[in-house]
Amino acid sequence: MSLRHAILGLLAGGPASGYELTKQFDLSLANVWSARHSQIYPELQKMAAAGWVVVGEEGARGRKEYEITAVGRAELERWLTSPLPERTQRNELLLRVFFLWTLREEDAERFLVDAAARAREIHARLDALDVAIPWDDTRSDLMGRLVLEQGLRVATAIADWADWAAEQISAGHDALHLTDRSPTQL
């Protein structure tokens, strides 16, 4: 599970309350990982029980500030240097593309044209973010820029692919007559 490590990573940047962590998931981490407060609060309790974090200052309105411990830092490092799990990442866009043969050609093509538009929207949103953020030359901001750059590159790749894919489909419909289906194995 990565949620606890995401929290650990955020706390490595300084102590924070569950409320503040929730906001960081909605802002900083929005494009990379998401978590609701209803998941964060219980997780912080488990992490405290495991000794990865401790409650430091308790402020107004029941505010509890969590700090990362030495054990927590060690766990964060262990996680960062352990091999990435190679589980299949689910991709609903591609799942749908796989079954696009069941639609009429024009609907399949529209799907891909929409997908291209969506990818370009995401690119534009990330571009705007990049401009809006007052990046400095800290190492943490460098990493933020690296993350954003991957977002931009992948969005571009997907937009270009979707354009190309839409063409492949329309190329089929005025040239040869393709049959409806046959069992496939990707």
Partner DNA sequence: TCTAGCATGTAAACAGTTACATGATTGC
Partner DNA sequence: GCAATCATGTAACTGTTTACATGCTAGA
Interaction residues for its own copies, span 47-66 (CB under 8 A): none
Asked if 167 interacts with its own copies (CB under 8 A), we say no
Asked if 144 interacts with its own copies (CB under 8 A), we say yes
Asked if 177 interacts with DNA (CB under 7 A), we say no
- One of 70, 82, 84, 87 touching DNA (CB under 7 A): 87
Asked if 118 interacts with DNA (CB under 7 A), we say no
- One of 71, 117, 124, 178 touching its own copies (CB under 8 A): 178
Asked if 33 interacts with its own copies (CB under 8 A), we say yes
**Considering beta carbons, is residue 30 or 50 the nearer one to its own copies?**
30
Q: What DSSP string describes the chain?
A: --HHHHHHHHHHTS-EEHHHHHHHHHTTTTTT----HHHHHHHHHHHHHTTSEEEEEE-GGG-EEEEE-HHHHHHHHHHHHSPPP-PPPP-HHHHHHHTGGGS-HHHHHHHHHHHHHHHHHHHHHHHHHHHHS---SSHHHHHHHHHHHHHHHHHHHHHHHHHHHHHHHHHHHHSS---S------
